[in-house]
Amino acid sequence: MKPVAIFRHVPIEGPGYFATFLDNNHIPWQLIRIDAGEALPTDIDAFSGLVFMGGTMSVNDELPWVASELNLIQQAIANDTPVMGHCLGGQLMAKALGGEISASPAKEMGWGKVSVPNNPIAQEWFDDLSTFDSFHWHGETYSLPEGATNILSSPYCENQAFAMDIHLGMQCHVEMTERMVRDWCSVAAEELAAMNEEPAVQQIEEIEKNLPERVGQLNAIAARLYTKWIEGLK
């Protein structure tokens, strides 16, 4: 099998549990370090799927690699090559499909409930799951692209995930590991403290409370999503 291409935009926002899942399922993968200046591929022929990770930047920023990633996403979707995005990656997918990226009504940072809407597409991805605690770290959101179905929402952000055929775009972070959570909290400590009155922003003590258990539960849900996604790999 050709490897899955994983695009990393910030060093501490790597593939996390997704890489563990691929290794456990004997699926090869290649990390493309955009943050380190690595060149993007010009086409998708070398890969069985494309996965885009998060980042502190905006899809609307004038960055040299954004247009190239949007083009790769469009190529992959036209070719029925599975695409998946986490947070910034989900926003890249939405924009490539004609959606708009804008400020979210509220920043979400930390753990928060998400709900699975009652539609057949959502049930294909989540089975009988109706709600769970996900991890959030975003200040922007996307509009639902034409032809996509909303499959996840939160009280502060209506569009938390969308599916279109074999493609999955997520606003929330299901890929988290304990190390990633602690690293993000450390880097953003001052930002979190300054937003201590925001309704969807938690402080470090709350974010790291019962962390092994919470991450383990999230990994189990991520595995469910990833298992369905890899069914489409060529």
pLDDT tens-digit profile of 124-136?
Answer: 999 999 999 999 9
- For the segment 149-166, the average pLDDT, to the nearest whole number, is 97
Q: What percent of the chain has pLDDT over 70?
A: 100
CA distances for 38 relative to 46, 69, 95, angstroms: 16, 13, 23
Looking at residue 38, what is its pLDDT? 97
The ranges assigned to domains in the chain are 4-230
Q: Quick count: other Cβ atoms within 10 Å of Cβ 139?
A: 13
- In sequence order, what DSSP letters do the residues of 212-230 get, joined into one string? HHHHHHHHHHHHHHHHHHH
Task: List, for residues 186-233, the tens digit of each pLDDT value.
Answer: 999 999 999 999 999 999 999 999 999 999 999 999 999 999 999 999
Say yes or no: domain 4-230 is CATH 3.40.30.10.
no
Tell me: the pLDDT tens digits for 12-58? 999 999 999 999 999 999 999 999 999 999 899 999 999 999 999 99
pLDDT of residue 234: 79
Proportion of the chain in helix, strand, coil states, percent, rounded to 5: 35, 30, 40
How does the average pLDDT of the chain come out, rounded?
97
pTM over 0.85, yes/no:
yes
pLDDT for 193 equals 96
Report whether pLDDT(165) > 90.
yes
Q: What's the rounded Cα separation, in Å, for the pair 194 and 189?
A: 9
